[in-house]
Amino acid sequence: MARKRVALIIPTRNRAHSAFAQNDRIARVWKSILRLWGQEAEIIVAGDVSKSQFNAQYDIGIVPHLADYTSGLDIFSWVNYSPGDKPLYLVGYRTPQNTGGMPVTGVLGVVPLDGSPADPRFIGRRAIWTQSGISVHVESFVTRISNVYYGLRVDQSNPNLQVLLAPDRTLHPQAIHVYIARWYNRYFVPVVGMFATSPWLVPWIMVNEEADPIWSRPLCLDIDHILNHGAPNAPGWSYDLYLQTVQWLRTLCHNTGLVIQCGCTTSALSNLGSTSTYLHRNARFLNSQLAQMHQILLQEQDGCFPCCWHDHFWQIESTIGYASSKVWSNSYGTFREFNSPAAFRAHWKGTLDEMRQMGFATSWCNRHRYLNFANNQFTQRYLRFLREETPVRAVRAPSGSCVQGPGVRIMSSFPYLRHPLERQYGIELIDAYDPLYSNNINYGTQPADRTTIALADGFGSAGEPPELLFARVLGLRLVQGGLGRWLRTGAIIYHHNYEMSYEWPSPAAWVYMELDAWRRVLTPWVTFGSVSDLVAWRNRVRSL
């Protein structure tokens, strides 16, 4: 592999044409995204730059958006292939062959996705990379016409055309569209826009061209509530599957380098819910499966399962705690509000005692110095406390969110908008995304299996196969939502223990299998790692 000279090509020199402004906007975003790998790109204008000049000066050309245009652009004169031409990636290209002088590319135009979906929740599909046979999930398309999503239609008998990514027709037998096709070294790929869809495309282009990144970008994950009583009253809940998922994840991590930061449900040894098996310290004695899981966590606390505290029983800046309690106390003090250095300190010390009583060396993921704090806001004074009195240097804090509740004062340091590489008081504020959680599931009584997760948020109808339903969830929620957020902000993808304990593979295991498939497709641009690797990547980007 080698470093490549990349051109982002505006497809027309006509500054008054809508394609100029649209591609210029998208190209600027793509240029910024590529820089997150240390890869530079130049924006050029077809027509101002000739095809021969492009071939002489660049190794790869990418046209960011052609979905709305089928004629009248300078770039269309570049489509015809001659020996020595450099590769062109034509995003959203759908001009039929023999139209306006177009060569016989094998592109016949567009066709509705099977079922003619008009709802984005129905566009997720399982797809196959034809060269490697790797199965992934996508929510990709070329364009929308009358609100219906369309894919690319090609002539697969064309001797110079090769389909690279297509729907898995064992699951989608009616699908006649494809996702990526190549005619010589002209690639016809799905629309991306401002990375609202198909976020994997840009790193895939670079991998396909055997380009070396300046540095890789790490994917890492969190599990919230790694060990507690779960939902034994929900149909299908299984402690055996819960344990099996943890054991399987341990093997996956050892084989791939993935590190999963685990949040242990804690209460700082306070008066709140002290006997509840929702708390990790009590649940570990509930049965043999949870006891085995706890031992795995202890063994891997410096390996693939570093653990930190995760307290839902009292929130920062709150006056009401677990079970509507208005007083919080442990051996370090009694408090009515969690808003002072004294309260922070008492909570911190009690939590460290709690984690150490369970056998953990620290309460902050050991060397990673990280908290995946439970549904809390990081106020300025709490961040300052973390910096001045604790070893913590990174916290998980989803962007665009604020803690709400009857006793919580909204004082978050980043309630709506913030820089994706935000750092305050020396504490890294890391974005996050949960692709499986639904507000429409009662996790105590309903199974968090594939069917329930899909139906709860309208991804299909009862009676459809779980594989089909969950393909839509994985395509939209995990690939578009999770990978998209990771691409833009370096977000951590996380989930809860509920999705680990139904079916095999469990819904959580499907998430890891999907991300591992994309890791294999996108190596070395995408790798598995830990939150420490994520922080190291953020520092590299800051150095640009």
| Residue 417 scores a pLDDT above 50 | no
Residues 6+ positions from 536 with CB-CB distance below 8 Å: none
* Residue 163 identity (one-letter amino acid): V
- Region 508-537: what's the mean pLDDT? 98
- Give the model's pLDDT for residue 378: 75
Contact 6, 41 (CB under 8 A): yes
| Residue 416 scores a pLDDT above 50 | no
- Give the model's pLDDT for residue 414: 53
- Give the model's pLDDT for residue 26: 96
Helices 507-522 and 201-208 cross at an angle (nearest 10°) of 40
Cis peptide before 505 (omega within 30 of 0): yes
Q: How confident is the model at residue 2 (pLDDT cuts 50, 70, 90)?
A: confident
- Give the model's pLDDT for residue 87: 98
Residues 6+ positions from 21 with CB-CB distance below 8 Å: none
Q: Give me the domains of the chain, ranges plus CATH numbers.
A: 6-208 (3.40.50), 217-307+356-542 (3.20.20)
- Give the model's pLDDT for residue 100: 87
**What percentage of the chain reaches a pLDDT higher than 90?**
87
Residue 94, number of CB atoms within 10 A of its CB: 22
- Condensed to tens digits (0 to 9), the pLDDT of residues 475-485 reads 999 999 999 99
- Region 267-278: what's the mean pLDDT? 96
| Residue 174 scores a pLDDT above 70 | yes
| Residue 359 scores a pLDDT above 80 | yes
- Region 273-285: what's the mean pLDDT? 97
Report phi then psi at 106, rounded to 5: 95, -10
- Give the model's pLDDT for residue 213: 96
- Count, residues in the chain: 544
Distance CA 21, CA 18 (A): 6
- Region 41-54: what's the mean pLDDT? 98
| Residue 377 scores a pLDDT above 90 | no
Q: Which of 11-15, 106-110, 403-407 has the lowest mean pLDDT?
A: 403-407
Mean pLDDT of the chain: 94
Contact 249, 262 (CB under 8 A): no
| Residue 41 scores a pLDDT above 90 | yes
* Residue 144 identity (one-letter amino acid): R
Helices 18-35 and 201-208 cross at an angle (nearest 10°) of 70
Task: Provide the H-helix boundaries in 15-116.
Answer: 18-35, 51-57
- Give the model's pLDDT for residue 192: 95
**pTM greater than 0.85:** yes
- Condensed to tens digits (0 to 9), the pLDDT of residues 90-140 reads 999 999 999 988 999 999 999 999 999 999 999 999 999 999 999 999 999
Computed from CA positions of residues 153, 154, 156, 161, in that sequence, does the dihedral angle turn out positive or negative?
Answer: negative
Q: Long-range contacts for 172-176 (Cβ within 8 Å, ≥24 apart)?
A: 172/114, 172/125, 172/126, 174/114, 174/115, 175/113, 175/114, 175/125, 175/151, 176/111, 176/114
- Region 309-327: what's the mean pLDDT? 87
- Region 199-213: what's the mean pLDDT? 97
CA-based nearest residue to 289, from 507, 497, 495: 497
| Residue 510 scores a pLDDT above 70 | yes
Q: How confident is the model at residue 399 (pLDDT cuts 50, 70, 90)?
A: low
Better-predicted residue by pLDDT, 248 or 412: 248
Residues 6+ positions from 419 with CB-CB distance below 8 Å: none
Residues 6+ positions from 167 with CB-CB distance below 8 Å: 114, 125, 126, 127, 128, 175, 177, 178, 179
| Residue 243 scores a pLDDT above 50 | yes
| Residue 390 scores a pLDDT above 50 | yes
- Give the model's pLDDT for residue 411: 58
- Give the model's pLDDT for residue 405: 62
- Condensed to tens digits (0 to 9), the pLDDT of residues 72-94 reads 999 999 999 999 999 999 999 99
